[in-house]
Chain A
Protein backbone atom coordinates (compact mmCIF):
# COMPACT_ATOMS: atom_id res chain seq x y z
CA UNK A 1 0.00 0.00 0.00
CA UNK A 2 1.12 3.51 -0.77
CA UNK A 3 2.32 5.35 2.32
CA UNK A 4 -0.53 7.81 2.79
CA UNK A 5 -1.84 8.78 6.20
CA UNK A 6 -4.86 10.97 6.69
CA UNK A 7 -5.69 12.60 10.00
CA UNK A 8 -8.01 12.79 11.72
CA UNK A 9 -9.90 9.77 10.39
CA UNK A 10 -13.12 10.91 12.00
CA UNK A 11 -14.20 14.33 13.17
CA UNK A 12 -17.43 15.88 14.36
CA UNK A 13 -17.57 19.63 14.50
CA UNK A 14 -20.07 22.45 14.65
CA UNK A 15 -21.11 24.87 11.96
CA UNK A 16 -18.84 27.88 11.77
CA UNK A 17 -15.74 26.27 13.27
CA UNK A 18 -12.49 25.92 11.35
CA UNK A 19 -11.31 22.43 10.45
CA UNK A 20 -7.99 21.23 9.07
CA UNK A 21 -7.45 17.80 7.57
CA UNK A 22 -3.93 16.54 7.07
CA UNK A 23 -2.52 14.25 4.43
CA UNK A 24 0.97 12.88 4.99
CA UNK A 25 2.84 10.77 2.43
CA UNK A 26 6.08 8.85 2.66
CA UNK A 27 6.36 8.15 -1.09
CA UNK A 28 7.95 11.48 -2.05
CA UNK A 29 5.38 11.86 -4.83
CA UNK A 30 5.18 15.30 -6.34
CA UNK A 31 1.43 15.45 -6.96
CA UNK A 32 -1.19 15.47 -4.22
CA UNK A 33 -4.98 15.83 -4.37
CA UNK A 34 -7.97 16.31 -2.12
CA UNK A 35 -11.30 14.77 -3.12
CA UNK A 36 -14.64 14.61 -1.42
CA UNK A 37 -16.95 11.63 -1.76
CA UNK A 38 -20.70 11.98 -1.34
CA UNK A 39 -23.49 9.52 -2.10
CA UNK A 40 -24.80 10.09 -5.59
CA UNK A 41 -21.87 12.31 -6.54
CA UNK A 42 -18.92 9.98 -6.67
CA UNK A 43 -15.50 11.56 -6.24
CA UNK A 44 -15.05 15.26 -6.85
CA UNK A 45 -11.75 17.12 -6.84
CA UNK A 46 -11.41 19.96 -4.35
CA UNK A 47 -7.81 21.15 -4.75
CA UNK A 48 -4.55 19.74 -5.95
CA UNK A 49 -0.85 20.44 -5.70
CA UNK A 50 1.94 20.09 -8.24
CA UNK A 51 4.67 20.76 -5.73
CA UNK A 52 5.61 22.67 -2.64
CA UNK A 53 3.64 25.91 -2.49
CA UNK A 54 2.13 25.13 -5.90
CA UNK A 55 -1.61 24.48 -5.69
CA UNK A 56 -4.67 24.88 -7.86
CA UNK A 57 -8.44 24.64 -7.62
CA UNK A 58 -10.54 21.69 -8.56
CA UNK A 59 -14.21 21.25 -9.37
CA UNK A 60 -15.61 22.01 -5.89
CA UNK A 61 -13.10 24.38 -4.29
CA UNK A 62 -15.49 26.97 -2.78
CA UNK A 63 -15.19 27.04 1.01
CA UNK A 64 -11.88 25.19 1.03
CA UNK A 65 -8.23 26.21 1.06
CA UNK A 66 -5.07 24.16 0.94
CA UNK A 67 -1.42 24.51 1.78
CA UNK A 68 1.67 22.53 1.00
CA UNK A 69 4.80 23.70 2.75
CA UNK A 70 6.58 20.34 2.51
CA UNK A 71 6.55 17.63 -0.12
CA UNK A 72 5.09 15.13 2.30
CA UNK A 73 2.22 17.18 3.73
CA UNK A 74 -0.92 18.57 2.09
CA UNK A 75 -3.41 20.33 4.34
CA UNK A 76 -7.08 20.95 3.58
CA UNK A 77 -8.74 23.71 5.58
CA UNK A 78 -12.40 24.55 5.96
CA UNK A 79 -12.27 28.11 7.26
CA UNK A 80 -15.85 28.04 8.54
CA UNK A 81 -17.43 24.61 8.28
CA UNK A 82 -20.98 24.25 6.97
CA UNK A 83 -23.34 21.28 7.02
CA UNK A 84 -22.92 20.93 3.24
CA UNK A 85 -19.27 20.06 3.88
CA UNK A 86 -20.24 16.91 5.76
CA UNK A 87 -18.51 14.30 3.64
CA UNK A 88 -15.74 11.76 3.39
CA UNK A 89 -12.51 13.39 2.28
CA UNK A 90 -9.83 11.48 0.44
CA UNK A 91 -6.27 12.46 -0.17
CA UNK A 92 -4.55 11.01 -3.22
CA UNK A 93 -1.00 11.09 -4.51
CA UNK A 94 0.70 10.43 -7.81
CA UNK A 95 4.27 10.37 -9.00
CA UNK A 96 3.11 11.48 -12.43
CA UNK A 97 1.15 14.50 -13.57
CA UNK A 98 -0.66 12.65 -16.32
CA UNK A 99 -3.00 9.72 -16.11
CA UNK A 100 -1.06 7.91 -18.84
CA UNK A 101 2.10 7.50 -16.87
CA UNK A 102 0.98 7.00 -13.32
CA UNK A 103 -1.96 6.07 -11.22
CA UNK A 104 -3.64 7.78 -8.30
CA UNK A 105 -3.09 6.25 -4.88
CA UNK A 106 -5.72 7.11 -2.31
CA UNK A 107 -5.60 7.36 1.45
CA UNK A 108 -8.23 5.71 3.65
CA UNK A 109 -10.32 8.83 4.04
CA UNK A 110 -11.38 11.29 6.72
CA UNK A 111 -15.05 11.31 7.68
CA UNK A 112 -16.18 14.81 8.65
CA UNK A 113 -19.56 15.57 10.16
CA UNK A 114 -20.62 19.19 10.54
CA UNK A 115 -23.53 19.66 12.93
Chain B
Protein backbone atom coordinates (compact mmCIF):
# COMPACT_ATOMS: atom_id res chain seq x y z
CA UNK B 1 0.00 0.00 0.00
CA UNK B 2 3.01 2.25 0.38
CA UNK B 3 4.11 1.76 -3.21
CA UNK B 4 3.97 4.23 -6.03
CA UNK B 5 3.84 2.46 -9.38
CA UNK B 6 5.36 4.34 -12.28
CA UNK B 7 5.14 3.63 -16.00
CA UNK B 8 6.58 3.35 -18.53
CA UNK B 9 10.09 2.38 -17.50
CA UNK B 10 11.48 4.10 -20.58
CA UNK B 11 10.06 6.42 -23.20
CA UNK B 12 11.30 7.68 -26.55
CA UNK B 13 9.64 10.77 -27.99
CA UNK B 14 10.34 12.88 -31.04
CA UNK B 15 11.24 16.53 -30.60
CA UNK B 16 8.08 18.57 -30.37
CA UNK B 17 5.98 15.65 -29.21
CA UNK B 18 4.18 15.10 -25.91
CA UNK B 19 5.78 12.93 -23.23
CA UNK B 20 3.42 11.30 -20.75
CA UNK B 21 4.50 9.47 -17.61
CA UNK B 22 1.97 7.85 -15.32
CA UNK B 23 1.95 6.98 -11.63
CA UNK B 24 -0.55 5.16 -9.47
CA UNK B 25 -0.85 4.75 -5.72
CA UNK B 26 -2.96 2.84 -3.22
CA UNK B 27 -2.55 4.74 0.02
CA UNK B 28 -5.46 7.19 0.21
CA UNK B 29 -3.60 9.14 2.88
CA UNK B 30 -1.14 10.37 0.27
CA UNK B 31 -1.80 14.02 -0.47
CA UNK B 32 1.36 15.49 -1.86
CA UNK B 33 2.72 14.37 -5.22
CA UNK B 34 6.02 15.78 -6.49
CA UNK B 35 7.93 14.96 -9.63
CA UNK B 36 11.72 14.94 -9.63
CA UNK B 37 13.94 15.26 -12.71
CA UNK B 38 17.40 13.71 -12.84
CA UNK B 39 20.03 14.31 -15.49
CA UNK B 40 22.85 11.77 -15.97
CA UNK B 41 25.54 12.13 -13.34
CA UNK B 42 23.43 14.50 -11.25
CA UNK B 43 21.13 14.21 -8.28
CA UNK B 44 17.35 14.47 -8.65
CA UNK B 45 15.80 17.93 -8.48
CA UNK B 46 12.22 18.93 -7.78
CA UNK B 47 10.42 19.73 -11.03
CA UNK B 48 6.80 20.29 -10.09
CA UNK B 49 4.39 19.16 -7.37
CA UNK B 50 0.64 18.96 -6.81
CA UNK B 51 -1.79 18.54 -3.94
CA UNK B 52 -5.16 16.82 -4.46
CA UNK B 53 -7.21 19.97 -4.00
CA UNK B 54 -6.58 20.70 -7.68
CA UNK B 55 -6.82 18.40 -10.69
CA UNK B 56 -4.09 20.01 -12.72
CA UNK B 57 -1.01 22.14 -12.24
CA UNK B 58 0.98 23.67 -15.04
CA UNK B 59 4.45 25.19 -15.03
CA UNK B 60 5.68 26.10 -18.45
CA UNK B 61 5.73 23.00 -20.65
CA UNK B 62 5.25 20.69 -17.65
CA UNK B 63 1.79 19.74 -16.40
CA UNK B 64 0.69 17.40 -13.63
CA UNK B 65 -2.75 15.88 -14.03
CA UNK B 66 -4.31 14.35 -10.92
CA UNK B 67 -7.23 11.93 -10.73
CA UNK B 68 -8.12 11.41 -7.09
CA UNK B 69 -10.84 8.82 -7.68
CA UNK B 70 -8.54 6.68 -9.80
CA UNK B 71 -5.59 7.31 -7.49
CA UNK B 72 -3.46 8.24 -10.44
CA UNK B 73 -1.37 11.20 -11.46
CA UNK B 74 0.67 11.91 -14.52
CA UNK B 75 3.32 14.22 -15.89
CA UNK B 76 2.86 15.71 -19.34
CA UNK B 77 5.73 17.40 -21.12
CA UNK B 78 4.50 19.45 -24.03
CA UNK B 79 6.71 20.30 -27.01
CA UNK B 80 9.36 17.89 -25.71
CA UNK B 81 12.94 18.97 -26.32
CA UNK B 82 16.23 17.01 -26.37
CA UNK B 83 17.18 18.92 -23.22
CA UNK B 84 14.28 17.22 -21.45
CA UNK B 85 16.05 13.88 -21.82
CA UNK B 86 16.41 12.70 -18.24
CA UNK B 87 15.01 10.26 -15.72
CA UNK B 88 11.79 11.33 -14.06
CA UNK B 89 10.60 10.11 -10.68
CA UNK B 90 7.14 10.54 -9.27
CA UNK B 91 6.72 10.47 -5.52
CA UNK B 92 4.05 10.69 -2.84
CA UNK B 93 3.70 11.44 0.82
CA UNK B 94 0.91 11.83 3.37
CA UNK B 95 -0.41 14.88 5.19
CA UNK B 96 2.28 16.47 7.25
CA UNK B 97 4.47 13.63 6.17
CA UNK B 98 8.13 13.98 6.81
CA UNK B 99 10.54 14.18 3.94
CA UNK B 100 11.73 10.81 5.14
CA UNK B 101 8.33 9.36 4.30
CA UNK B 102 8.43 10.43 0.67
CA UNK B 103 7.85 7.33 -1.44
CA UNK B 104 9.43 7.35 -4.89
CA UNK B 105 8.41 5.53 -8.04
CA UNK B 106 11.04 3.52 -9.87
CA UNK B 107 11.67 6.14 -12.51
CA UNK B 108 11.12 6.68 -16.23
CA UNK B 109 14.02 7.30 -18.56
CA UNK B 110 12.93 9.78 -21.22
CA UNK B 111 14.84 10.21 -24.46
CA UNK B 112 13.78 12.99 -26.80
CA UNK B 113 15.08 12.47 -30.32
CA UNK B 114 15.97 15.54 -32.43
Contacts and interface: CB of A to CB of B under 8 A. Distances in A.
A98 B98 contact: yes
Given A42-B107, A90-B44, A98 B99 contact: yes
A99 B89 CA distance: 15
B44 A43 contact: yes
Interface residues of B, number: 23
Nearest to A35: B104
Given A99-B34, A108-B41, A42 B106 contact: yes
Nearest to A94: B99
A84 to B, nearest CB: 18
A42 B96 contact: no
A58 B80 CA distance: 36
A90 B42 CA distance: 10
User: Which of A45, A56, A99, A103 is the most central at the interface, judged by chain B CB atoms within 10 Å of its CB?
Assistant: A99
A99 B99 contact: yes
Interface SS majority for chain B = mixed
A99 B45 contact: no
Contacts of A106: 43-45
A64 B49 CA distance: 31
B104 A42 contact: yes
B19 interface: no
A104 B32 CA distance: 13
A74 interface: no
Interface of B: 6, 32, 34, 41-46, 49, 89, 93, 96-102, 104-107
26 contacts: A40-B106, A41-B106, A42-B89, A42-B104, A42-B107, A43-B44, A43-B89, A45-B100, A48-B99, A90-B43, A90-B44, A92-B43, A97-B98, A97-B99, A98-B96, A98-B98, A99-B93, A99-B97, A99-B98, A99-B101, A102-B99, A104-B44, A105-B45, A106-B45, A108-B41, A109-B42
Given A99-B32, A99-B93, A100-B96, 7 more contacts: A43-B104, A45-B100, A58-B100, A92-B99, A104-B99, A108-B43, A109-B41
Interface of A: 4, 31, 33, 40-45, 48, 56, 58, 90, 92, 94, 96-100, 102-109
